[in-house]
Amino acid sequence: MNQPAFTFTRVCKKCNIELELDDFAIDTHTRQSKHVFYFKCPQCEGYTATAMANIPQNTWKDFIPARKLTEVETKYEAAQKAH
């Protein structure tokens, strides 16, 4: 049975406002490529996480500050090439 494609929404379910990128993790220790974005709600300070694969890379620029985007993309690409 086919399941519908997962679409990650960056909206806090409690506050109904857009979450902000808090941090990210690049999996460099396994071959599973479990790269993760961590988001925080600026209002309630709740956290949520999702796999980087759940958000198309061409949309990262929409929520990653420009000063951090190059770092995220560089580390992500290096990890992809390593596996």
One digit per residue, the tens of pLDDT, for the chain of length 83 reads 455 567 788 899 999 999 999 999 998 877 777 899 999 999 999 999 999 989 999 999 998 988 899 999 999 988 888 76
Helices (H), the chain: 66-82
* 37: exposed, middle or buried (Cβ count in 10 Å: 0-12, 13-18, 19+): buried
Instruction: Report d(CA 33, CA 73) in Å as an integer.
Output: 14
**pTM score, whole prediction:** 0.82
Q: Please tell me the predicted confidence (pLDDT) of residue 47.
A: 94
Q: Please tell me the predicted confidence (pLDDT) of residue 30.
A: 76
